[in-house]
A = this chain, B = another copy of it.
Amino acid sequence: MRRIRLKIAYDGTDFYGFQKLPGRRTVEEELNRALSEICRESITVIGASRTDSGVHALGNIAVFDTESTIPEDRFCLAANTKLPEDIRLLSSESCELSWHPRRQECIKTYEYHIYNSRIMDPLKRRYSLHCPYRLDKDAMSSALEFFIGSHDFTAFSNPASQVLMRGGSPVRRISDAELYCEGSELAEDRHGEMILKLRGNGFLYHMVRIIAGTLIEVGTGARRPESIKDILISGDRRKAGMTAPACGLWLRSIVYETDGMDI
């Protein structure tokens, strides 16, 4: 028996999220189907990040166990011939049988893409949130500073969070946060594509999307940047902003600290 670790990219638009859900098209189900075909045994993957419906990934991680004798790096190429075009395996390699993608220290990098223009670019619509209002990037960047470091992120998480309901810690550490723009000819007096990049040791349910939604409200002038401090302290979800839609969220990468490797 071997354990194989996969790096996975997908366009989340047409999936009901990563995790298996009866009667729905999910990333997990497609992976299980393709890998079972290749290995000629029933395969069940375990994902690192069970992304929500509509969320994209360029570096999610999963593992599965197999008796097959296929060389470790060949699972990737073989599965890609069986997978739909909106999922691609980027790599496959053996790992310890005890290695579990959700029980290791890691750094996750998420991006939230906002397309800031009066009129949406139809080529961006699947992968970013359209925000037609003029956004104050400097105010958003100031607000972003307050998220860096270790905080109780209860106010910026969905109360239905499994982790919180099971009594898990609401403290997470954001090690890096940046907001940058990639201009667009269509954007006129707006910013074009704005990318919010957050790097941290874990994120609560909906945390990146609520941070993005709150920053947009700072950008439109509906909130002051300093208000973030008070919202964090309050631990009250109702004080934070809207949950920004899933389409703008990209899981960019997961780096495990045990092996220091960006797999």
Q: A160 near B: Cβ within 8 Å?
A: no
Separation of A90 and B120 alpha carbons in the complex (Å)? 9
Interface contact A123-B127, CB-CB below 8 Å: yes
A125: which of B85, B90, B120 is its contact (CB, 8 Å)? B85
Separation of A58 and B184 alpha carbons in the complex (Å)? 11
Using C-beta atoms within 8 Å of the partner chain, give the interface range for chain A: 20 to 34
Q: Which A111-135 residues have C-beta < 8 A from chain B?
A: 119-123, 125-127
Interface contact B87-A122, CB-CB below 8 Å: yes
**What is the chain B residue whose CB lies nearest that of A90?**
B119
Q: A144 near B: Cβ within 8 Å?
A: no
How many copies of this kind of chain does the complex include? 2
Separation of A210 and B76 alpha carbons in the complex (Å)? 32
- Shortest Cβ gap from A52 to chain B (Å): 17
Separation of A42 and B85 alpha carbons in the complex (Å)? 40
Q: A80 near B: Cβ within 8 Å?
A: yes
Separation of A241 and B89 alpha carbons in the complex (Å)? 31
Could you give 25 example pairs across A and B, Cβ below 8 Å? A9-B119, A9-B121, A9-B122, A9-B123, A9-B186, A11-B122, A11-B123, A11-B125, A56-B123, A58-B121, A76-B119, A80-B119, A85-B120, A85-B125, A86-B122, A86-B125, A88-B119, A88-B121, A88-B122, A89-B119, A90-B119, A90-B186, A123-B127, A126-B126, A185-B253
Chain A interfacial positions (CB closer than 8 Å to B) = 9-11, 56, 58, 76, 80, 85-90, 119-123, 125-127, 185-186, 250, 253
